[in-house]
Amino acid sequence: MTGWIAIAGMGPGDAALITPEVTAALAQATDVVGYASYVARVAARADLTLHASDNRVELERAAQALELAAAGRRVVVVSSGDPGVFAMAAAVFEALEEGHPDWRELDIRVLPGITAMLAASARAGAPLGHDFCAINLSDNLKPWDLIERRLRLAAEADFAMAFYNPRSKARPEGFGRALDVLREACGGERPVLFARAVCTPEEVLRIVALRDARPEMADMRTMVIVGSSRTRLIERPGAPILYTPRSAE
């Protein structure tokens, strides 16, 4: 077998945030596999086959990529952000674990990228400058009770919290409940960052107090970061800076 798979992070959207490692892998690839809107970010080339698929078919897409590599193709699986954070790397390893035993001999690499919470944090200041957690608010693959339990424990630990997939048309209710749980656990003062389409031409950043946060401020393209008890704003001309000091006290 001379094929390989690279599961690559394309970052949040801006080409200037794609690592040279990922660019080099794409240049060597024969096939690109991914969700259509991420595949659309790869430049077309005569010797490159683009396999765009729909959302919510991660396991089928992963198996397709493994099959292509097993057939000797050089395959890049594209993810937005970082492939290891709520993205395609875990799906590929699930498919590998359940799939053909020969697949385990494949050359498989994960190429890291700038995940959405780091991009959003950088654009707003440094809200993740002290201990923090990252939670996927989608309840497609876990029970809602577990999400609520994690929110309460994260608040008790006084983590800053980064939320991926806060809200979709299929799940409009959960994020409102999450905000209620957080208000109960943290009070209303906590700053909340809504970073929509971060590092793209449509980027919008908005910072509100937790008491004023509303579910409709987020959609599936929004990264939400809720500060810890120490997170604060530096007012200045233009947008304020949101950051969490390094010290706990």
Residues 243/234, Cβ–Cβ less than 8 Å = yes
Please select the residue that binds a copy of itself; options are 49, 100, 156, 188, rule is CB under 8 A.
156
Please select the residue that binds a copy of itself; options are 4, 159, 175, 194, rule is CB under 8 A.
159
Output the smallest distance, CB 20 to a copy of itself, in A: 5
192 contacts a copy of itself (rule: CB under 8 A): no
Under DSSP, the state recorded for 20 is H
Distance of alpha carbon 75 from alpha carbon 69, whole angstroms:
6
Residues 230-249 that bind a copy of itself (CB under 8 A): 234-237, 241, 243-249
User: How many angstroms separate the first and last alpha carbons of the chain?
Assistant: 56
82 contacts a copy of itself (rule: CB under 8 A): yes
The pair of structure tokens assigned to 18 is: 């794609």
Site string for a copy of itself, 83-122 (x = CB under 8 A): xxxxx-xxx-xx-xx------xx--xxxxxxxx--xx-xx
Distance of alpha carbon 168 from alpha carbon 178, whole angstroms:
14
88-110: b or e for each residue (b if 16 or more CB lie within 10 Å)? bbbbbeebbeebeeebeebebeb
C-beta closer to a copy of itself: residue 143 or 201? 143
2 contacts a copy of itself (rule: CB under 8 A): no
- Looking at 46-54, 134-142, 184-192, 214-222, which segment touches a copy of itself (CB under 8 A)? 134-142
